[in-house]
Structure 1
Amino acid sequence: MSFLSDFGSKIKHSSPQTNSQNEQADDQSLATLLTLEQRAELSLLITNTTENMRNDIINGFDQIPKSETKKDTPAEAEPDVSKLKLEDPGDGSQEAEAEALQQQEREAAKLEEEATVSATPQSEALKKSALEFFDKWSESVVLRVGEVVNSREERENAHHARNLPSQSNNPQYVPNERDKVADARLAKIYPPVRTQLASLSHLERSTILKAILLMLLSLEAYRAHSRTLILRLATSLHISAGELSKMEKDTAFGLLAAASKMDAGDSASAAQKASASARKWKVGLASVAGAALIGVTGGLAAPLVAAGVGGLLGGLGLGATAAAGYLGALASSGVLVGGLFGAYGGRMTGQMMDKYAKEIEDFAFLPVKGSVNDSEEKQHERRRLRVTIGITGWLTKEEEVTQPWRVLGDGGEPFALRWELQALMNLGNALGNFISSKAWGYIKKEIIKRTILAGLWSALMLPFGILKIAKMVDSPFGVAKLRAMKAGEVLADALINKAQGERPVSLVGHSLGARVIYSCLLALARREAFGLIESVVLIGAPVPSDDEVWRSMRSVVTGRVINVYSENDYILAFLYRTSSVQLGIAGLQEIKGVYGVESYDMSGDVTGHLKYQNMVGKILTEVGWTDVNEEALKREQVILKHIEAQEKQQEKEEEKEAGEEKKS
């Protein structure tokens, strides 16, 4: 029996004794939980927290972190590798062809810089728009909370005796070690706001957070701003982020259980027609396949929602009636419930694909767990209040579209983005062949000579023979890099058009997958599309490290912006060598001078670009990500040990070979 049918059965077949207990607890609300002074303290906490969020937006544009102030450093002398000899001596024609190839690289570098600069919105205009959007959202939150806390019903309930459920009937959430590490990290990123509410019991603080979650949902959209707000409130109330994820998961279950009871009416037929039209969209968004899975009607009886969502939350301190009241219009409209989870995700009708049809041939959201062909009930079980999308940067087999992202936990509904499958397969095969070639061994030695990649990407001068061999990987990388930019723009369009509903989206990508994220964020910034993206993690990103670019990216992300890099990523240094020295490479260095961007140096673990594919879980753990699948992480650790053993064996063979060459 699925969770939905099981949940519905519990509602339908509840015993008279249970019903009596529910009736007794049905008046449980913030008013019966908190005193008048404590409710005023709650309003103040929310006001102070939103003010901190607003200040962070301003700092993102205006403030340069003191610890990361840029310093001018003298350029290091570079060895002249243009005179290095190969097995076959060069002649005049080879030198001319080599010069032509190098000129192509310089032109590509110039185009890269120009494209990046033109993609960066004007800072002041973007700042103004970001603040206008935030102020409108913030005002709606403060008014909604004030409306509920100061409502007539709340004032009347305040005269009742406080009747909090027994702690023994409501086991306290116990954070695991990973939760504790993530909570400690979040406390540094979002310093707790001092509040008297923090001294309440755990059950009381947990109930307050649940009530706020329902109020945020009553705004008819769970914005990225709303998610970041409640995460900040959790740190101030000393509630684990893991517990908050469970709250969101339980609330999604309750909403879907209630929605499943609705009768399919005219609105459902309309939604099915919209979904059928959406399936014709050329890119084939996999999420659209389930667009009409939630029964959508013109309305949903409030008592049903109260019995479903309210009953679920009532066990932790909120009465069913209060819960339905906090949900507002969402408690009486199946259309809103469906819209929240993406029931109308296909409304784009393919218009935005017309601009990219020649460049983008493949684009789809694939569920990390299960299949797009799963039954309606199974797809319902995967639904969450927020979404996490993993984006792969190269492929050697089709399964790798989803494989690295199985470490994503189910606190957010996990998807993998399939984009340009053939281009990524071509790149993956070319990288594998290139790294195993003797040419790569030679190039790597020259890179290492340059001392932590200093100046490498300004215009690496290589002998003609090496340049010819390099073309076998340069070409597929160049093609895939261009497609990544187009895919990012399509992703931005999909999110703006609510392909994932009214839920916050987090993006995690490695290699060219990180470049898709980069392109997506810049497109969102150009279109001033705020409130969509919660957090992003760019791993080994072949994108510029220019601070203005990252400020633009930061402006459309309400939560964390994380750059993971390695100074030992020689493959990325070589592949991205045509980038201008002014822009730098994010996957090789810290992002400096941008407020709110976190950089994590993984040089000690990442010995090569291709290793990222099997390190997603380890990296997410390192940065304090809250949703990680423990079983998948253990499997990843086994694979990593095997890879590291192979690396050690290869190093021994290379040392032995070098010793023999020296003797000879």
Structure 2
Amino acid sequence: MASMFQKASTFLGGGNEDTKKQDEEGESLTTVLETAEDRSTLTILISDVTELMRNRVLDAFDPKETGAEEDQIAALNNDGDEQTSIEKSVDNERRDEMQKILEKQKADLAKREKEVSEEKMVWLKTSALEFFDDWRDSVFIRVGEVVNSRKTAKDQSKQAKPELTDSNDKPTLEGIETEEQEDSISDALLKLYPPVETGLRKLAKEKRMLILHSMLLLLLSLEHYNAHSRTLLLYLTTSLGLSATVLSEDEKKVARGLLTAAEKMSADEETKKRAEGNATARKWKMGVAGVAGAALIGITGGLAAPLLASGLGTVLGGIGLGATATAGYLGALAGSGVLVGGLFGAYGAKMTSKAMEQYTRDVEDFAFVPILKPGENESDARRLRIAIGISGWLDDKDDVVKPWKCVGPFQETFALRFELEALMNLGNALTTLVTSAAWSYAKSEIIKRTVFAALTAGLWPLGLLKARRIIDNPWSVANQRAQKAGEVLADALINKAQGERPVTLIGYSLGAKVIYVCLQQLAERKAFGLIENVVLLGAPTPCNSADWRRIRSVVAGRVVNAYSTNDYILAFLYRSSSIQFGVAGLNPVLNVKGVENIDVSDLVKGHTLYRHATAPILKRIGFEDIDLQEIDREERRLAEQEKEEEEKREAAKNSAKQLDVGGEQGVNDEEVHKMEQEVEQKNKSS
């Protein structure tokens, strides 16, 4: 037992071992953080960051937090009622108008207060905080075991007083390489994860990178890498003055190292070593529980031997962290191929329809399709994070995958394929409608009134109403299937089909509907820590604050709602739904702190353009991981698609005039029949 104490003390910098051995083993946190004050500074930084994260959870349930002011202004500008413009009123009218606005604000606040006090919302808030606090406690304990005592770490966590860096002196983030997109990513990162003031920022870049690397390994030693852990690392990244690229490169390297090492262990060896490791762990915990750093189990015992023998220390120690420290920080994960496999998911890159059969009782077609980069195989594509892209309709079967090739190399990317036939039928109907004479006439009439007036008052041209039977049925069928697919997706994520890794969900049109339903289900089932980011584009969903509070509660990172006030097709498709809560794809989501509303009206002149606008929108929002070459291609294709649709509409309109079909009503029964035949032919060929 004495030797165990000596080894633990030596690792923490308190022993008398010669420096030669230390040099061979490489750096550790305690050689970088040389004094107790330095180690305390790291613990305090983590305490401050997690306090900010906890406040973000609370903000989502605060009725006084109304989100961004520009969203409120945008909502007023988009309602089509010129009488709400205070600037156009004279003094007396201005006072009256201001009084009305104040009364409305008071009524809205009372409504929000009632909303957040409802039993289900209180239960959701309590559950979200309990999950977060349990995760935070596990982080404090783990960090305290390595850089401090558990008691010191806990004491410091209770004294968290985060102080953000001075916003007047814009911080800079040091990256591995400079790219065109990195500046916009850094801007988004600094806004969403503002750096906390810390003395560690003064350290050399190499030392700051090693601290971040060590924290990644420590969080992985919790035997999961949930969305809160990833958010914590993003805050640490900005606070240490590093770019997102540094963290992403490190995640990529660690994923490859873990999988390479784990693949070399046989099942028999794994079973034996895990048994030995459990015994070693029990002895350590019983014998040295009161010593600082005592829970660095497996540093010298058999626990870490298999992965160390496979070269894990060499693979993961490339930036200077020693093999012994690497194994110690990873804990049980360093000695268990089973745990590594669980981290990356039982299905891994083979999350195909066969593997997903247990989740697909309600949906005929449901599968995760891996999206590989050129020259990449499934093994090389493994990452510590995953992104799932969901298309909302299909022009051809390749559209399941194509829109999501723009996601960059630092995430393991999948496309969700669901109900292929229904989405193909919808795509054919949409294409026929938006390139028809009916739509050309209808659009000119709608523009005179604004999309919101048309939506709320039902002011749709007669010709377009005649053509509704072309689109209504395929939309209704696909919409219902999207609801079911969202429920199935939630079930798959809860059952860890993706492993213990943070998930980013991106979808347009009914793909966004799938995500919306999935997140509502996750909130209902108290499934926190699974989702890192969500990006919903042109979502055919309500935008009432209660639903979006639930969404905010189960997403640790970004919640982005991209909308277009030019999306007349979405307004038409949504006309028969309940519109009292608004439509997320047409206007901003109000009164929920933490929801980013992005107006993309300049990019998206119509609903069908979201297919090629997805990549440019991700670029605009500073999405952390994108492929610039793919974005360039999609931007060109977006311009081409917009031009093609306009030319087809003009041709159809001219044809209708020459044949005297429909006149200014845009379409008659003969033209509708022709359009129906066109859709039917497209469906057959699909």
Is the TM value for this pair above 0.5?
yes
Change in 2 beyond 3 A, CA 1:365/1:51: same
CA separation in 2, counterparts of 1:249 and 1:443? 50
CA separation in 2, counterparts of 1:566 and 1:467? 22
Change in 2 beyond 3 A, CA 1:460/1:228: same
User: Which stretch of structure 1 is more off in the superposition, 22-31 or 504-513?
Assistant: 22-31
The equivalent of 1:40 in structure 2 is: 40
Change in 2 beyond 3 A, CA 1:392/1:73: closer
Q: Is the 8 A contact 1:352 1:490 kept in 2?
A: no
User: Residues 155-166 of structure 1: matches in 2 within 5 Å?
Assistant: none
Unaligned ranges ≥5, structure 1: 1-19, 79-116, 153-170, 269-298
Q: Is the 8 A contact 1:539 1:565 kept in 2?
A: yes
Cα root mean square deviation, aligned: 3.4
Q: Is the 8 A contact 2:356 2:367 kept in 1?
A: no
CA separation in 2, counterparts of 1:353 and 1:583? 36
Q: Is the 8 A contact 1:175 1:243 kept in 2?
A: no
Q: 1:591-637 CA deviation, whole Å, 9 max, x = no partner?
A: 11110000111111111111111122211110001111123223223
Q: Tell me the CA shift for residue 435 of structure 1.
A: 1.4
Change in 2 beyond 3 A, CA 1:527/1:309: same
Q: Tell me the CA shift for residue 400 of structure 1.
A: 0.5
User: Residues 192-211 of structure 1: matches in 2 within 5 Å?
Assistant: 192-211=195-214
Change in 2 beyond 3 A, CA 1:398/1:246: same
The equivalent of 2:440 in structure 1 is: 441
Q: Is the 8 A contact 2:190 2:238 kept in 1?
A: yes
User: Residues 84-483 of structure 1: matches in 2 within 5 Å?
Assistant: 122-150=120-148, 173-265=176-268, 301-302=304-305, 304-305=307-308, 308-343=311-346, 357=361, 359-369=362-372, 378-451=377-450, 453-458=451-456, 460=458, 462=460, 466-483=464-481
The equivalent of 1:541 in structure 2 is: 539
Q: Which has the higher contact order (CA 8 A, sep 6+)?
A: 1
Change in 2 beyond 3 A, CA 1:147/1:354: closer
User: Which stretch of structure 1 is more off in the superposition, 317-326 or 572-581?
Assistant: 572-581
Q: 1:50-72 CA deviation, whole Å, 9 max, x = no partner?
A: 00000000001112236255988
Change in 2 beyond 3 A, CA 1:658/1:140: same
Q: Is the 8 A contact 2:352 2:367 kept in 1?
A: no
Change in 2 beyond 3 A, CA 1:352/1:585: same
Change in 2 beyond 3 A, CA 1:27/1:441: closer
Change in 2 beyond 3 A, CA 1:245/1:207: same
Q: Is the 8 A contact 1:172 1:203 kept in 2?
A: no
Change in 2 beyond 3 A, CA 1:469/1:204: same
Q: Which amino acid is the alignment partner of residue 548 of structure 1? A: A
Q: Which amino acid is the alignment partner of residue 335 of structure 1? A: V
Q: Tell me the CA shift for residue 652 of structure 1.
A: 7.6
Q: Is the 8 A contact 1:22 1:319 kept in 2?
A: no
CA separation in 2, counterparts of 1:424 and 1:74? 31
Q: Is the 8 A contact 1:407 1:632 kept in 2?
A: yes
Q: Tell me the CA shift for residue 181 of structure 1.
A: 1.4
Q: Which amino acid is the alignment partner of residue 216 of structure 1? A: L
Aligned pair count? 549
The equivalent of 2:638 in structure 1 is: 640
CA separation in 1, counterparts of 2:138 and 2:627? 35
| Residue in structure 1 matching 2:517, options 516, 519, 526 | 519
Change in 2 beyond 3 A, CA 1:466/1:519: same
The equivalent of 2:100 in structure 1 is: none
Q: 1:370-416 CA deviation, whole Å, 9 max, x = no partner?
A: 79xx9xx9322111001000000000111110000000112110000
Q: 1:204-232 CA deviation, whole Å, 9 max, x = no partner?
A: 11110000000000000001100111011
Q: Which amino acid is the alignment partner of residue 315 of structure 1? A: G
The equivalent of 1:17 in structure 2 is: none
Q: Is the 8 A contact 2:388 2:504 kept in 1?
A: yes
Q: Is the 8 A contact 2:352 2:368 kept in 1?
A: no
Q: Is the 8 A contact 2:571 2:586 kept in 1?
A: yes
Q: 1:121-156 CA deviation, whole Å, 9 max, x = no partner?
A: 82111000000000000000011001111379xxxx
Q: 1:268-318 CA deviation, whole Å, 9 max, x = no partner?
A: 9xxxxxxxxxxxxxxxxxxxxxxxxxxxxxx97536337633213323121
Q: 1:315-373 CA deviation, whole Å, 9 max, x = no partner?
A: 3121111011000110011110000011267999999978973x4110000001179xx
CA separation in 2, counterparts of 1:349 and 1:415? 13
User: Which stretch of structure 1 is more off in the superposition, 453-462 or 395-404?
Assistant: 453-462
Change in 2 beyond 3 A, CA 1:559/1:633: same
Q: 1:57-107 CA deviation, whole Å, 9 max, x = no partner?
A: 0001112236255988997689xxxxxxxxxxxxxxxxxxxxxxxxxxxxx
For 1:232, what is the secondary structure of its paired residue? helix
The equivalent of 2:677 in structure 1 is: none
User: Which stretch of structure 1 is more off in the superposition, 66-75 or 576-585?
Assistant: 66-75
Q: Tell me the CA shift for residue 172 of structure 1.
A: 7.4
The equivalent of 1:64 in structure 2 is: 66
CA separation in 2, counterparts of 1:448 and 1:356? 42
Percentage of pairs with the same residue: 51
For 2:242, what is the secondary structure of its paired residue? coil
Q: Which amino acid is the alignment partner of residue 124 of structure 2? A: L
Q: Which amino acid is the alignment partner of residue 390 of structure 1? A: G
Q: 1:111-130 CA deviation, whole Å, 9 max, x = no partner?
A: xxxxxx9xx98211100000
Q: 1:418-464 CA deviation, whole Å, 9 max, x = no partner?
A: 0110100010001111112222123222321222x123333625566
User: Which stretch of structure 1 is more off in the superposition, 463-472 or 475-484?
Assistant: 463-472
Q: Which amino acid is the alignment partner of residue 499 of structure 2? A: G
For 1:454, what is the secondary structure of its paired residue? helix
The equivalent of 2:50 in structure 1 is: 50
For 1:389, what is the secondary structure of its paired residue? strand
The equivalent of 2:279 in structure 1 is: none
Q: Which amino acid is the alignment partner of residue 426 of structure 2? A: L
For 1:246, what is the secondary structure of its paired residue? helix
Change in 2 beyond 3 A, CA 1:464/1:625: closer
Does the alignment pair 1:488 with 2:486? yes
Q: Is the 8 A contact 1:224 1:533 kept in 2?
A: yes
Q: Is the 8 A contact 1:262 1:300 kept in 2?
A: no
Q: Which amino acid is the alignment partner of residue 444 of structure 1? A: K
Does the alignment pair 1:621 with 2:619? yes
Q: Tell me the CA shift for residue 543 of structure 1.
A: 0.7
Change in 2 beyond 3 A, CA 1:629/1:462: closer
CA separation in 1, counterparts of 2:353 and 2:378? 23
| Residue in structure 1 matching 2:562, options 564, 573, 588 | 564
Unaligned ranges ≥5, structure 2: 1-18, 83-114, 151-173, 272-301, 665-686
User: Residues 561-600 of structure 1: matches in 2 within 5 Å?
Assistant: 561-600=559-598
Q: Which amino acid is the alignment partner of residue 243 of structure 1? A: V
